[in-house]
Amino acid sequence: MSELTRIPAPDGVAPAAQYSHVVLGTGRFVAIAGQVALDELGRLAGEDDPAAQARQVFENLRRCLAAAGAGFDDVVKLTYFVTDVAHLPAIRAARAAYIPDDRLPASSAVQVAALVRPEFLLEVEAFAVVAE
């Protein structure tokens, strides 16, 4: 695990809600492609259910991070692509099962008109820094 410093409110910037404005770390950079709600067999988890899709997405992220020798403590940035910002509370609830509030990464959320398949409600990509 890399030593990371989280700065939720830099001087002169409004405090962050549900994320850190800045995360600093040194080590090996890991980029995780956007993950969608497909299980290990390629089946959709949670049709029309943002909470079920979010749980699958975070489990996919966990598995991808593990493959790189990383974990959620190493994540410095998450980007959420959602078809409806009303899904954010369900996504935050799923995230809370993997990332405690005192270790929140920098984050961005973007509402998009569509994702690669119409049944996907969200996609999440991650960047991590792992100690060398």
Structural domains for the chain: 29-130 (3.30.1330.40)
Residue 3 backbone dihedrals phi, psi, to 5 degrees: -80, 120
pLDDT for 121 equals: 98
Calculate what percentage of the chain has a pLDDT beyond 90: 77
74 three-state secondary structure = helix
Using alpha carbons, list the distances in angstroms from residue 103 to 6, 8, 22, 23, 96.
7, 10, 12, 10, 10
CA distance 130 to 68: 9
DSSP letters spanning 9-72: S-TTSPPPSSS-SEEEE-SEEEEEEEE-SB-TTSPBSSTT-HHHHHHHHHHHHHHHHHHTT--G
**119 has pLDDT over 70:** yes
**1 has pLDDT over 60:** no
Average pLDDT over residues 108-127: 98
- The pTM score is 0.90
Reported as a pLDDT band with limits 50, 70 and 90, residue 2 is: low
Question: Which tokens sit at 72?
Answer: 């959620």
